[in-house]
Amino acid sequence: MASVLSLLGAFTIIRSTIRELIPQEVRAYLWNLTQRFSSEFTLVIERTHGSSSNSLFKAAAIYLGGHVLASATVFDSTGGSPQRFLVGKSENVRNFTYALDKNSEIVDLFRGVPMKWKFRLDFSATTQIETRWYELCFNKKHAEIVKSEYLPHVLDTAKRLKDQTRTVKFHIIRRDWWCPSAVNIDHPMTFETLAMDADLKKNILDDLNSFINGKEYYKKIGRLWKRGYLLYGPPGTGKSSLIAAMANHLNFDIYNLNLSAVKSDSVLEDLLLQVSNRSIIVVEDIDCTIKLQNREAGEQVDSFPRVQVTLSGLLNAIDGLLSCCANERIVVFTTNYKERIDPALLRAGRMDRHICLSYCTFSTFKQLAANYLNIFNHDHFGRVEELIENAKASPAEVAGELMKSKDPEVCLEGLIAFLESKVSQARFQITSIEDRRLEEKNGIRPKKDTENEHSSNATTFLAVGCDSVREYRVKADLALILKNVFLKHGNIVENSSLNSMQCLSSLLEVVCGIIQRLQAVEFEELTEVELESMITSVRDLEYLKVEVGWLNKRLDEITQALPLAKHCSSLKEERGKNLQDIEKMEKEVKGCEDESKSLKIQETKARTEELSEKISSIETKFNQIRDGLP
Ligand SMILES: Nc1ncnc2c1ncn2[C@@H]1O[C@H](COP(=O)(O)OP(=O)(O)OP(=O)(O)O)[C@@H](O)[C@H]1O
């Protein structure tokens, strides 16, 4: 050991003696002379290039640190002497990062060609400046491969590695500018943990992947490389979670564009110019930005004086000239009320995909149960399945129940109780004027001018669903029918394409009018023409997205039963005639014994009974159809 140390010491002394004895210029000349006969070529990659920073230097650092260390193609060029790498972890990256230590050398095999990398560091005592550079040495005959393949490979790999290790950032607006200290999103939501219909999830993932790999395609078709998503649905159904999953999947930063914090269109322009590529710009609850609301609906603009951004300002920012300055951008709008958004904002090309996130289904629940409780089946699943569709519970609410305990039994029992209460809440509470007056009298409801309601022959319904309160007015004689429709089928006009309460009330009157007629009329009295007109009305209602599938079904049943109704009518006629005959014959045989007449009476009675049975069986059928009506 001592001899090795003394040998190394002697070598160091000789090296410094050579340095002292031979001047720098002579050393450089000798070096150049040896290089002239060398087949090696060296590229020097400095930190700066021209007047700007050298992106190849940065890429080499990442490539060598991340790729080469992990790669099986790394060779130790120093003949077995230990290699030194720097290792560390910055706050804004997920993993450890590695780098070559000063004067370390490694060889990267690229397509069988050895590429020798050296990292150099020099400190000038006179200028006090530290200089760092990489040297890439290779055989001259491989110069073309290096230029056209290897260097681009280094750049691409470094970009990919940077994206992989980079933490997604969340940017918010502070005083007309993106806050300089963007926070790292450590949101754990991914497409694996997001509970959603499997087909929809796959569809969104495919869409994102084809977008991200579509650079050439977008260029070819002459469209900007950007994509717009509208996420709509009730609160807590996973809109923000989906955005987090998208950001994590793509490794894109999120820019939360809170329009109420933007003072003008020009500030919006400035903000968007600062948004980096590979980012998701999110405008949450876009319907709440009143100036951007549906112009056709004639909304009141002044009620939100703080919001200064105009619709045209936003449209321009999304797909006007301004957006040409960026690439690989995704714009996401979220809303609880899609119908309130101006159609101009939603048209294809701006919002390419409209994704509805809805209440928890049984399949969504099973994914949440697997995520939260690690269970895939349980005795209580059957009851959950029975309740979940009608409960209209959001995934957030279901997840909340599943987090209450680590014991699946406790959680599922709690969830079932919760769903049961939601099911009964989801039944609409219908209040007629009388109930309202009583509530006003008892101070449950604030007093309201009900003058008009009293004077008109109409009844107002307050339909309170789990997330909406609607008022409809229908004729008083239809009130009870409407109440039953709501109780049995929920708010059937909730998803209608019409908006005004007046029009929706008229639609409800049409539905109730049909039911009233069907309840009152004997089916055999119904003419085919009248039935046809009812069916046409129901079709029109369905066209307007009124949920009357159940009424359509009843009308179908009645149509099928119509020949039976006609038959029933003739049976009744025959029975009536028989009864008259029996009465007449009984009078005739009174006091005299006429065996043949008595026999005839018996026969007619038997036939009448038979007819009554047939009629009653047909009528039972008709009643069943009627019972199907609310
Ligand atoms: N589909 C889902 N899968 C898994 N978890 C979900 C899902 N939807 C909601 N959650 C849970 O509920 C929480 C709230 O959901 P989220 O904020 O994504 O809903 P939202 O639709 O954006 O609500 P809002 O309209 O009120 O903004 C999430 O943090 C997540 O824990």
| Domain presence at residue 548 | yes
Ligand 1 nearest-atom number relative to CA 195: 3
Q: Mean of the pLDDT values across residues 266-276?
A: 84
Going from the Cα of 194 to the center of ligand 1, the distance in angstroms, rounded, reads: 9
531 and 417 inside one domain: no
Look at residues 143, 77, 145, 139 and name the one whose alpha carbon lies nearest to residue 108. Answer: 77
Q: Mean of the pLDDT values across residues 577-602?
A: 82
The number of angstroms, rounded, from the C-alpha of 348 to the middle of its chain's C-alpha atoms is 17
Contact 436, 445 (CB under 8 A): yes
State the total domains in the chain: 4
Q: Which of 191, 193, 241, 371 to probe ligand 1 with, by most ligand atoms within 8 A of CB?
A: 241
Q: Whose CA is nearest to atom 24 of ligand 1?
A: 235
pLDDT attached to residue 38? 67
SS3 248: helix
Q: Which residues pair with 329 in a beta bridge?
A: 226, 279
pLDDT attached to residue 629? 77
Q: Which of 189, 197, 237, 286 to probe ligand 1 with, by most ligand atoms within 8 A of CB?
A: 237
143 and 219 inside one domain: no
Q: Is the pLDDT of residue 19 over 90?
A: no
Q: Is the pLDDT of residue 553 over 60?
A: yes
Going from the Cα of 399 to the center of ligand 1, the distance in angstroms, rounded, reads: 9
Higher pLDDT, 541 or 94: 541
DSSP state of 523: G
pLDDT attached to residue 454? 39
Tokens of 607: 């036939």
Going from the Cα of 547 to the center of ligand 1, the distance in angstroms, rounded, reads: 28
pLDDT attached to residue 468? 42
| Domain presence at residue 480 | no
Band of residue 300 on the pLDDT scale cut at 50, 70, 90: very low
Look at residues 99, 106, 103 and name the one whose alpha carbon lies nearest to residue 78. Answer: 106
The number of angstroms, rounded, from the C-alpha of 79 to the middle of its chain's C-alpha atoms is 57
Would residue 310 be called left, alpha or beta, if left means φ above 0 and alpha means ψ between -120 and 50 degrees? beta
| Residue after which a domain boundary falls, among 341, 356, 371 | 356
Going from the Cα of 76 to the center of ligand 1, the distance in angstroms, rounded, reads: 51
Q: Whose CA is nearest to atom 12 of ligand 1?
A: 396
Model-level pTM?
A: 0.54
Tokens of 555: 């009308």
Q: Whose CA is nearest to atom 16 of ligand 1?
A: 238
| Domain presence at residue 204 | yes
| Domain presence at residue 463 | no
Going from the Cα of 490 to the center of ligand 1, the distance in angstroms, rounded, reads: 25
pLDDT attached to residue 200? 92
Contact 301, 290 (CB under 8 A): yes
139-173: per-residue pLDDT in tens? 989 999 999 999 999 998 888 877 776 677 888 88
HEC-encoded secondary structure of 547-559: CCHHHHHHHHHHH
Q: Mean of the pLDDT values across residues 45-53?
A: 79
Q: Which of 3-17, 91-105, 258-272, 286-300 has the highest mean pLDDT?
A: 258-272
274 and 410 inside one domain: no
Going from the Cα of 402 to the center of ligand 1, the distance in angstroms, rounded, reads: 14
Band of residue 419 on the pLDDT scale cut at 50, 70, 90: very high
Helix, strand, coil share of the chain (percent; to 5): 55, 15, 30
Ligand 1 nearest-atom number relative to CA 357: 21
Q: What does each C-alpha distance from 82 to 75, 105, 577 come to in angstroms? A: 12, 10, 117
pLDDT attached to residue 357? 92
Taking the C-alpha atoms of residue 504 and residue 492, their distance in angstroms, rounded to an integer, is 10
409 and 288 inside one domain: no
Going from the Cα of 7 to the center of ligand 1, the distance in angstroms, rounded, reads: 69
Going from the Cα of 617 to the center of ligand 1, the distance in angstroms, rounded, reads: 54
105-149: per-residue pLDDT in tens? 888 888 889 899 888 888 888 877 888 899 999 998 999 999 999
Q: Mean of the pLDDT values across residues 617-627?
A: 78
Going from the Cα of 307 to the center of ligand 1, the distance in angstroms, rounded, reads: 26
147 and 212 inside one domain: no
Contact 177, 267 (CB under 8 A): no
Q: Which residues pair with 341 in a beta bridge?
A: 293
The runs of H, that is alpha helices, within 111-236 are 143-145, 151-165, 198-212, 215-221
Taking the C-alpha atoms of residue 623 and residue 626, their distance in angstroms, rounded to an integer, is 5
340 and 372 inside one domain: no
Give φ, ψ of 293 to 5 degrees.
-75, 170
73 and 190 inside one domain: no
What's the chain's average pLDDT? 79
Q: Whose CA is nearest to atom 13 of ligand 1?
A: 396
Band of residue 469 on the pLDDT scale cut at 50, 70, 90: very low
| Residue after which a domain boundary falls, among 381, 406, 425 | 425
| Domain presence at residue 39 | yes
Residue type, 389: E
Q: Which of 194, 197, 240 to probe ligand 1 with, by most ligand atoms within 8 A of CB?
A: 240
Q: Mean of the pLDDT values across residues 506-526?
A: 87
216-233: per-residue pLDDT in tens? 888 788 777 888 999 998
Contact 83, 76 (CB under 8 A): yes
Residue carrying the six token digits 């007309």: 176
Taking the C-alpha atoms of residue 56 and residue 47, their distance in angstroms, rounded to an integer, is 8
> Cα(first)–Cα(last) distance of the chain, in Å?
100
| Residue after which a domain boundary falls, among 381, 398, 425 | 425
343 and 314 inside one domain: yes
Band of residue 397 on the pLDDT scale cut at 50, 70, 90: very high
Q: Is the pLDDT of residue 499 over 70?
A: yes
Going from the Cα of 315 to the center of ligand 1, the distance in angstroms, rounded, reads: 28
Q: Whose CA is nearest to atom 25 of ligand 1?
A: 235
62 and 194 inside one domain: no
Tokens of 60: 């080499």
**CB contact set of 362 (below 8 Å; sequence gap of 6+):** 384, 385, 388, 389
223 and 79 inside one domain: no
581 and 617 inside one domain: yes
Residues in the ligand 1 pocket, defined by CB under 6 Å: 194-196, 235-241, 336, 395-396, 399
104 and 223 inside one domain: no
SS3 571: helix
pLDDT attached to residue 455? 38
Cβ-count burial 43-66 (b if 16+ within 10 Å, e if not): bebeeeeeeeebebbebbbbbbbb
| Domain presence at residue 449 | no
| Domain presence at residue 339 | yes
Using DSSP bridges, classify how beta strands 105-110 and 113-124 pair: parallel, antiparallel or unpaired. antiparallel
Using DSSP bridges, classify how beta strands 329-335 and 226-232 pair: parallel, antiparallel or unpaired. parallel
Going from the Cα of 239 to the center of ligand 1, the distance in angstroms, rounded, reads: 6
Ligand 1 nearest-atom number relative to CA 194: 3
Cβ–Cβ contacts within 10 Å for residue 16, how many? 10
193-219: per-residue pLDDT in tens? 999 988 999 999 999 999 988 888 887
Q: Whose CA is nearest to atom 11 of ligand 1?
A: 396
Q: Is the pLDDT of residue 615 over 60?
A: yes
pLDDT attached to residue 305? 45
Taking the C-alpha atoms of residue 409 and residue 416, their distance in angstroms, rounded to an integer, is 11
| Domain presence at residue 455 | no
The domain in which residue 23 lies consists of 12-165
Half-sphere exposure (CA, 13 Å, Cβ side) for 97? 17
pLDDT attached to residue 75? 45
pLDDT attached to residue 450? 43
Q: Whose CA is nearest to atom 31 of ligand 1?
A: 396
Q: Which of 132-146, 302-316, 475-489, 547-561 has the highest mean pLDDT?
A: 132-146
